[in-house]
């Protein structure tokens, strides 16, 4: 029994010697610092192209009925603040109203909340029972979901008819943009 106890003690002592010293407190190894947290907000309002799809409504000033429609847009931003946009819309009016527009867009991205208010101004051409030009001013908001590389936007623009005999109208849009 004595021999067994001595063998057990010797094995415990040997395993402690192989394991190394025990330290309570500071480690001899330095701990690497944590990486900095990711920046707040988003960086997805960079210059470049975007393509968008939207639902729209045309709201005439006169006696005409409000009508729903849809369209698509393509835009290019030269800087994160200044860009151009072209759009095409079709509305289910009595004569099927087609709208072609080009605009200068000025936006101010608030990167901390991924939101960009913008204003737009431009001109266009309407094809309906009669063909007519127009010019417009408007504004809107775009929210970017950076992880999905997707923008959600809503805007409105007041269109002034080229001929004073034609009625003015407002177009409101709600849609998505795919920047690339």
- Residue 109, sorted as left (phi over 0), alpha (psi -120 to 50) or beta, turns out to be beta
Is there a contact between 76 and 84 (Cβ–Cβ < 8 Å)?
A: yes
Q: Which residue has the higher pLDDT, 60 or 75?
A: 75
Question: Does the pLDDT of residue 58 top 60, yes or no?
Answer: yes
Give residue 159's pLDDT band: very low, low, confident or very high (50, 70, 90): very high
**Count of beta carbons in the 10 Å neighbourhood of residue 85:** 19
What's residue 43's pLDDT?
76
Q: Which residue has the higher pLDDT, 63 or 12?
A: 63
> Pick from 151, 83, 78: which is nearest to 114 by CA?
151
CA distance 47 to 54: 21
Q: What is the mean pLDDT of the chain?
A: 84
What's residue 95's pLDDT?
78
Q: Which residue has the higher pLDDT, 174 or 96?
A: 174
Bridge partners of 54, per DSSP, are 71, 175
Work out the average pLDDT over 150-162.
Answer: 93
User: Tens of pLDDT along 67-125?
Assistant: 899 999 999 999 999 999 999 999 987 778 899 999 999 999 998 999 999 999 999 99
What's residue 20's pLDDT?
55
Is there a contact between 67 and 75 (Cβ–Cβ < 8 Å)?
A: no
Work out the average pLDDT over 4-15.
Answer: 57
Is there a contact between 119 and 136 (Cβ–Cβ < 8 Å)?
A: no
Instruction: Spell out the domains of the chain, with CATH numbers in brackets.
Output: 48-179 (2.40.160.20)
Question: Does the pLDDT of residue 39 top 60, yes or no?
Answer: no
Question: Does the pLDDT of residue 132 top 60, yes or no?
Answer: yes
Is there a contact between 105 and 116 (Cβ–Cβ < 8 Å)?
A: no
CA distances from 84 to 4, 26, 27, 119, 123 (A): 90, 61, 60, 11, 12
What's residue 19's pLDDT?
55
CA distances from 69 to 58, 114, 131 (A): 8, 28, 18
Work out the average pLDDT over 129-155.
Answer: 90
Mean pLDDT: which of 5-14, 31-40, 142-151 is highest?
Answer: 142-151
């Amino acid at each position: 029994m004595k021999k067994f106890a001595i063998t057990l003690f010797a094995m415990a002592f040997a395993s402690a010697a192989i394991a190394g010293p025990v330290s309570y407190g500071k480690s001899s190894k330095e701990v690497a610092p944590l990486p900095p947290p990711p920046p707040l907000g988003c960086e997805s309002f960079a210059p470049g192209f975007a393509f968008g799809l939207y639902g729209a409504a045309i709201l005439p000033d006169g006696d005409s009925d409000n009508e729903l429609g849809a369209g698509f847009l393509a835009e290019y931003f030269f800087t994160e603040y200044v860009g151009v946009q072209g759009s095409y819309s079709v509305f289910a009016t009595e004569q099927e109203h087609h709208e072609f527009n080009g605009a200068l867009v000025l936006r101010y991205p608030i990167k901390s909340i991924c939101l960009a208010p913008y204003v737009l101004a431009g001109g266009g051409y309407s094809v309906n029972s009669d063909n007519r030009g127009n010019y417009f001013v408007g504004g809107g908001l775009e929210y970017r979901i950076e992880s999905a590389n997707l923008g959600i936007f809503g805007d409105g623009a007041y269109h002034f008819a080229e001929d004073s005999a034609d009625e003015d109208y407002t177009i409101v849009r709600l849609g998505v943009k795919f920047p690339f």
